[in-house]
Chain A
Amino acid sequence: MWTFLIGCSVIELGGLFALLLLKREKAARLIATLFTVAGCAVVAVPVFQTLFGDGTAPVQLPWHLPLGEFHMGMDVLSAFFTLPVLILAPLSSIYGVGYLKKHKGSGAHYFFLNTLVTAMLLLLCAKNAILFLMVWEIMAISSFFLVTFDDHLQSVRAAGWTYMIATHVGMMALLAFFAVLSHQKGGFDFAALTADGELSPGVSSLLFVLALVGFGSKAGIFPLHIWLPEAHPAAPSHVSALMSGVMIKMGIYGLMRSLTFIGEVHASFGWSVLALGGLGGVVGIVSSLAQHDIKRMLAYSSVENIGIVCMGLGAGMLGMAFQNPALVALGFGGALLHVLNHSVFKGLLFLCAGAVVHETGTKEMNHLGGLMKKMPFIAAFFIVGAVAASALPPFNGFVSEFLIYFAGVQSAMTKDVSSIVLAAAVLTSLALIGGLAAASFTRVAGMVFLGEPRVPLKQVPKDPGWAMKMPIVFLALMALALGVASPLLIQTVADAQLPVTGADATLRVVAGDIVPSLNGISLVGVAVIVIFAIIAVLYRLIAHRKSVALTRGPVWDCGYAKPSVRMQYTPSSFSAPLNQMFQPLLGTRTALSRPSGYFPKSGAFETIVSDRVKDMFYAPLFRLVARVLLLFRILQHGHVHIYVIYVAATLITLLLVTAGN
């Protein structure tokens, strides 16, 4: 564990050096990145010891704060969740070196970036509730400053504000959660909190709801997701990658950890997580289809993926309630693997989208198009990410969704009514989400990179430099590797859930079932690549042979002699039928001014995309809160002498109360 702490200190030290080098932007970026890479390499040692070896000893230090103690320890669950951090933190940092070249303020930015990475690592290993909450708050604050990097823009400040409120509503729930919990169990150390103790059903339900709100608001579980589509587009792309790929997973970690505190998992907990997951998955992907902003679209896709993770968690929790070890192992296993897989492909997509935004200066998809010809590298890798995000083989997204599908089918084998309902719910929502994800990602990839540019750009975009390319290549290879090497990973994933599910419910129980299936998937994955290569080469030889003509001509547009780029289908028109179908879930409004009269002048049409949950739930809620809080204005005048009277009155009351006792 000391190695782990040394690694964390190295990363934080890099951040401090970057802060000191405030004026030397380039040096600050390089130093901070170097320290992050080195620190992560050091942290990887205890992580691998825990995952594949005999673990690492915890560290307990006395602390002068009341209630708290510096207690750090790493179990397999913590170790598994550090993997996304260890993958994405160095890569985002390296990417930032290229991305921030033309920006000012790298020093402070990297200070917060490294602080965020350190806080996340510490969070995963904190074994004391007070310590946990402290690093949780550091994580929230540092990511707030990362989101508001471009704080000269009003929209960015508003996004940061939304994030700040969302994260603190969650924090409030977490404070209540740990307060109630430690009151019940006595103590703040995780060992005390995990200890067996009968919780009454009412208390455990209350704790579950608090955990769901507290951790769910960080993870972006529907309907607490509304900060994601605000914060992710506002942040620089490597920060979006880190937040979407890693930070929101801290909420999932917290939720899984809190299950160990709550003790017995009631079936209703499982059903609610499953239902929120399925609903969130569908709403997330449907909303992503309606977006015009490429990064906002990716943020909604994160809501969808968190939904899929929650479906896995819910299935696993129901497995605990039904005492079906196979369901437990497959549900939690699928959720954990999807956490890792999503961080890889979403990191890849955000980094590619960042390059597009960086080069073209716009996030509006209706203005982009044809970037394949100008940025072939980014285009190719974005398409790889899009295939992975649509959960298509041979990439990694498929494997984890397969595990969750498999959990559903496996549970139906018991032929018991609730298991069949579970299976039908999981299969229907995953199938619908899968189909819609393919629609959403063909839309983005096709509209941004293929065809022709829809609006002329100010400068000719080109592929970025090595610092931005290298992380992208690495993540794409990782997505492929995780897709075809799943049989090797499955045991690690199975072990990682042990702290939550207990010793007897590992995937070993179902290894006989799942490993041959994963072998089959890997085989097909490799076969896709090999056969595709053979067919492509054969095609090249046959179609491009010398004896036949190879020509280029205009595409068919119903006989128009001069097809213009304005005539292309746009992202909005592509998704219009689906948006119309799911209109009740979306908050899309249209503004149309028709051309009218005998000599019509210009007309205009605009779709305004909003979020139904935000409009119909949060906006009225916060208006209400504001109205109630306004009542307290009577107390606040801005006159110092009246405040002094308040202080005096309070003191006198307190004195009287004490004297009375």
Chain B
Amino acid sequence: MSWMNAVPVLIGLILSPLLFGIINRVKAWFAGRNGSPLLQTYFDVFKLVRKGMVYGTTTSLIFQLGPALVLTSVLLALLMVPFGTMAAPLSFKGDFILLAYLLGVSRFFTVLSALDTGSSFEGMGASREVQFAALGEPTFMLGALLMAIYTGEMSLSGMVREIHFEAVGGQSAAVALLVAAWMMLLLTENSRIPVDDPNTHLELTMIHEVMVLDTGGPLLGMVTYASGIKLWIFSALIANLLVPNLHAGAVTQGAVFVAAVLLIAVVVGVVESIMGRVRMRQIPKVLVGATALVATGLIMTLAG
């Protein structure tokens, strides 16, 4: 691992809060508003970190430590995400499994922190979170399997290195299905419309936001930053599927890749602007649908 490998991670760490800014700007543009500044999430995080803390009277140490574990696990997960053609700092066969389970650690402690408050709202959000996450897991794993079969590589970095349009060739339909399925996964895992609405004002209808209702100050800062990184991870995974190997220098390739990640944020913004929320009872169908898309892709590999 050379120091060059650290650069993509640094870019991810620096740019991830920008994704929220882009999404909000796109939504504002659709609604005909000016919208908040692009850098609003940075301002929010800085403001939150400087504040004092208020702990709920029912909470215990878990509530104070949970967000630290959430941040730790997404930071480590980021280390395994390849950056275009540039390999991730940490790459080994089967690393996508560890990536999925690290995100699982972050979810586990988000849920425990929520339950620590004893608030029924937070319990409700936690209950929904674990349900939808469980249904999302197979989509991710089968998608990674699909990529492994195509590229003959078992690590994320290896898979990404092997994807270029010449190599994928006639199988591009399956890759398109995978992109669609993972896009649905991105929207679910990052609590966006049509699964969850980050801007809703009714606790009863929230999923992720309701779990951090009582989290404030530096703790909320950590949670916000962690969710930025999580959105970056998912966007980068999809961008990796889309950006071809241009056989260009590292800087050009990196710039195209970052542009693709930011473009995914724009797409998320567009989706949020033109779609409504799916009813809570219908969400499992959306998720099973995503798995079905990937499974179709897999069947296409059997045929091909």
Contacts and interface: CB of A to CB of B under 8 A. Distances in A.
Given A406-B93, A438-B108, A536-B65, A555 B118 contact: yes
A431 B141 contact: yes
Contacts of B187: none
B13 to A, nearest CB: 13
Given A415-B149, A427-B142, A442-B130, A402 B57 contact: no
Interface string A404-445: 011011101101010010011001101110111011011101
Given A413-B152, A427-B145, A450 B131 contact: no
Contact of A567 (B56, B100, B120, B145): B120
A517 B112 CA distance: 29
Nearest to B139: A431
B43 interface: no
Contacts of A372: 60-62, 116
A554 interface: yes
Contacts of B218: 539, 542-543
Contact of A521 (B68, B98, B112, B128): B98
A387 B121 contact: no
B130 A439 contact: yes
A451 B115 contact: yes
A405 B112 contact: no
A53 interface: no
A558 B124 CA distance: 13
Contacts of B140: 431
A12 B115 CA distance: 46
A405 B148 contact: no
Given A392-B105, A551-B54, A428 B141 contact: yes
A568 interface: yes
Contacts of A423: 145
A23 interface: no
Question: What's the dominant secondary structure at chain B's contact region?
Answer: helix
Contacts of B69: 532
A61 interface: no
Contact of B76 (A391, A428, A516, A527): A527
B108 A442 contact: yes
B2 interface: no
Given A405-B94, A452-B58, A428 B117 contact: no
Nearest to B140: A431
B154 A409 contact: yes
Interface string A379-406: 1000100010011110000100010011
A229 to B, nearest CB: 21
Given A531-B76, A539-B218, A556 B127 contact: no
Interface stretch (A358-366, A572-580, A628-636): A572-580
Nearest to A569: B123
Given A427-B142, A516-B92, A551-B52, A524 B213 contact: no
Interface string B89-112: 011111101101110110110011
Interface stretch (B164-172, B234-242, B294-302): B294-302
Contacts of A576: 127
A407 to B, nearest CB: 10
Given A412-B149, A438-B104, A520 B98 contact: yes
A311 to B, nearest CB: 14
Contacts of A398: 98, 101
A569 B127 contact: yes
A402 B68 contact: no
Contacts of A575: 127
Interface in B211-250: 213-214, 217-219, 222
A58 to B, nearest CB: 39
A450 B137 contact: no
Q: Which of A383, A431, A445, A536 has the most CB of B within 10 A?
A: A431
Given A412-B149, A517-B95, A539-B222, A557 B120 contact: yes
Contact of A552 (B56, B72, B100, B128): B56
A489 interface: no
B44 interface: no
Interface residues of A toward B: which range?
35 or more
A370 B58 contact: yes
A528 B75 CA distance: 9
B12 to A, nearest CB: 16
B167 to A, nearest CB: 15
Contacts of B254: none
B98 A402 contact: yes
A465 B54 CA distance: 34
Given A432-B137, A573-B127, A519 B62 contact: no
A461 interface: no
A435 B118 contact: no
A55 B101 CA distance: 38
B134 A438 contact: yes
Q: Which of A406, A427, A517 has the most CB of B within 10 A?
A: A427
A438 B107 contact: yes
Given A412-B149, A439-B134, A539-B68, A550 B115 contact: no
Contacts of B219: 539, 543
A528 to B, nearest CB: 6
Contacts of A551: 52-55
B279 to A, nearest CB: 13
Contacts of B118: 369-370, 450-452, 555, 563, 565, 568
A405 B95 CA distance: 11
A432 B298 contact: no
B117 to A, nearest CB: 5
Nearest to A580: B281
B145 A412 contact: yes
B56 A409 contact: no
Contacts of A656: none
A398 B136 CA distance: 19
Contacts of A445: 112
A599 B134 CA distance: 43
A392 B145 contact: no
Interface string B29-59: 0000000000000000000011111111111
B98 A524 contact: yes
B123 A573 contact: yes
A659 interface: no
A578 B154 contact: no
Contacts of A549: 52
A443 B108 CA distance: 10
Interface in A273-300: none
A535 interface: yes
B204 to A, nearest CB: 9
Contacts of A172: none
Contact of A563 (B59, B107, B108, B119): B119
A626 interface: no
Contact of A581 (B56, B104, B284): B284
Contacts of A442: 108, 111-112, 115, 126, 130
A383 B138 contact: no
A98 interface: no
B71 interface: yes
B57 A555 contact: yes
Contacts of A548: 50-53
Given A387-B108, A412-B149, A575-B127, A450 B95 contact: no
6 contacts: A392-B104, A406-B94, A424-B145, A435-B134, A435-B137, A442-B112
Top 10 closest pairs, chain A to chain B, by CB:
A569-B123, A435-B134, A446-B115, A548-B52, A451-B118, A439-B130, A431-B137, A555-B56, A520-B92, A435-B137
Interface of B: 49-62, 64-65, 67-69, 71-73, 75-76, 79, 90-95, 97-98, 100-102, 104-105, 107-108, 111-112, 114-124, 126-128, 130-131, 133-138, 140-142, 144-145, 148-149, 152, 154, 203, 213-214, 217-219, 222, 284, 291, 295, 298, 301-302
Given A424-B295, A435-B138, A535-B71, 10 more contacts: A406-B94, A413-B149, A415-B301, A420-B149, A435-B135, A446-B114, A520-B98, A527-B76, A528-B105, A581-B131
